[in-house]
Amino acid sequence: MFLLLPFDSLVVNLLGISITVLFTLLLVFIIVPAIFGVSFGIRKVYMKTLLKIFQWATLRIERGAKEKNHPLYKPYVNGIIAKEPTSLEEEIKEIRRSGSGKALDTPEFELSDIFYFCRKGIETIMDDEVTKRFSAEELESWNLLSRTNYNFQYISLRLTVLWGLGVLIRYCFLLPLRIALAFTGISLLVTGTTVVGYLPNGRCKDFLSKHVHLMCYRICVRALTAIITYHDRENRPQNGGICVANHTSPIDVIILASDGYYAMVGQIHGGLMGVIQRAMVKACPHVWFERSEVKDRHLVARRLTEHVQDKSKLPILIFPEGTCINNTSVMMFKKGSFEIGATVYPVAIKYDPQFGDAFWNSSKYGMVTYLLRMMTSWAIVCSVWYLPPMTRQPEEDAVQFANRVKSAIARQGGLVDLLWDGGLKREKVKDAFKEEQQKLYSKMIVGSHEDRSRS
């Protein structure tokens, strides 16, 4: 016969009570408001408190570092080299002018021309524009996550305690809460859409499906403690349009879809994602492609065109960069979605890295690791701007249109507009780019050489 010690029973009771409290909290403060689209403003208060704590923490680090006389590592947003903004022609002229003082109107090859290319090469080796974009943006104040701080060893006891407390809260309280929420959200989505799928087609079905989707996305947003500010909501995408946004992480989908009704586009996956995708398409038409169909550009374009031409279908959500960028810049947009001829509704998403870095470096982290990192950050704070709709003008082609949209998004979000292809993260540079610089230089030399030999 076992005697349950009074201590053990006390522990069990406490456990039981805390779990019940947790679930009540969950239900009352999070899920119910999500269903009705109401917010208590708890997250905003949370955010303000965190900011104050971060500022204090940063001050402590700087003070501590000064006392110990260690140099602080300060991240440089603009790179470490002063790059001269002159063009190739100007530079080569200057190199020659400062050299032999020969007549400049007979440009020919000089031994010293190699100086320019050599220097440019060393500059890129020291500090490369493109690779910088692909590592997570570096922060200037510490947000109590050791993963973002390089000065970690210079902190005091008080700060270590605070950090430890932070770890405890994030991993033992926030993480289980968020996982429970995510689980609830996803299962509600799958069951809700399947149930709605049994209804006959009509207004009732559309209405219900929209709201089931919306409700579940809202729960997922709370599962990540995402604090989102929407601007210019009057420009939200309408049916028959294409919504285009810059891409930082898979979370972008949840952020946009919790404030509007969209049809998703994507490849069918296996596993849990596949289950979700198949359930969603029962309730309302999304555009899912088989793996083999993705390569066929004409098929893709045709299906997208069919979808946008049907005004009863929801606007399509597309991320034309094709890969996740670290949210400091916008890379080249692939032109496919701009050829279809529908109205484009650009959206700019900018994350505040202060609370948690949302960038998914897919070469560094897998999906599960990434989601865990997201769920153990303090919060995801971002701003979404809905830009006025754009259509392709008759005199521009798809690429120019894509660039115009991209510039608008970059300007609104305060991101740098880069011409580079986001696909560079994985592939090597296309040879066409390489040729530009060489062509320019050789035109300079050869053009004149031919002139001279002719005369």
The residue ranges that bind other proteins (CB under 8 A) are 51, 70-71, 73-74, 76-82, 91, 94-96, 98-100, 108-131, 135, 140-141, 150-151, 153, 352, 354, 420, 424, 428-429, 433-439, 441-443, 445-446, 449-450
Residue whose entry in the numeric block shows the structure tokens 């490369």: 128
Report in angstroms how near the CB of residue 52 gets to other proteins at its nearest.
13
Report in angstroms how near the CB of residue 380 gets to other proteins at its nearest.
15
Q: Are 380 and 224 in contact (CB under 8 A)?
A: yes
Residue number, 141 or 403, with CB nearest to other proteins? 141
Residue 120 CA: distances (Å) to CA of 23, 83, 84, 115: 60, 9, 10, 9
Q: Are 252 and 382 in contact (CB under 8 A)?
A: no
Residue number, 1 or 77, with CB nearest to other proteins? 77
Element (H, E) at 236: none
Residue whose entry in the numeric block shows the structure tokens 């030999």: 453
Closest CA to 374 of 181, 214, 130: 181
Residue number, 8 or 108, with CB nearest to other proteins? 108
Residue number, 139 or 182, with CB nearest to other proteins? 139
Bridge pairing between strands 343-352 and 380-386: antiparallel
HSE-up of 114 (CA within 13 Å, CB side)? 1
Residue whose entry in the numeric block shows the structure tokens 């509007």: 260
Q: Is 221 helix (H, G, I), strand (E, B) or coil?
A: helix
Residue number, 74 or 311, with CB nearest to other proteins? 74
Residue number, 67 or 140, with CB nearest to other proteins? 140
- In the structure encoding, which two tokens stand for residue 126, read together? 């020291």
Report in angstroms how near the CB of residue 100 gets to other proteins at its nearest.
5
Report in angstroms how near the CB of residue 144 gets to other proteins at its nearest.
16
Report in angstroms how near the CB of residue 12 gets to other proteins at its nearest.
46
Residue 409 CA: distances (Å) to CA of 177, 384, 420: 35, 11, 16
Residue number, 147 or 297, with CB nearest to other proteins? 147
Residue 333, number of CB atoms within 10 A of its CB: 27
Residue number, 227 or 342, with CB nearest to other proteins? 227
Residue number, 393 or 437, with CB nearest to other proteins? 437
Alpha-carbon distance of 316 to 263, in angstroms, equals 5
Q: Phi and psi (nearest 5°) for 56?
A: -60, -45
HSE-up of 395 (CA within 13 Å, CB side)? 0
Residue number, 237 or 422, with CB nearest to other proteins? 422
Residue 395 CA: distances (Å) to CA of 341, 365, 402, 405, 412: 13, 43, 13, 15, 25
Report in angstroms how near the CB of residue 113 gets to other proteins at its nearest.
7
Closest CA to 60 of 161, 138, 132: 161
Report in angstroms how near the CB of residue 89 gets to other proteins at its nearest.
14
Report in angstroms how near the CB of residue 92 gets to other proteins at its nearest.
10
Report in angstroms how near the CB of residue 314 gets to other proteins at its nearest.
34
- In the structure encoding, which two tokens stand for residue 20, read together? 């019940």
Alpha-carbon distance of 82 to 123, in angstroms, equals 9
Report in angstroms how near the CB of residue 82 gets to other proteins at its nearest.
4
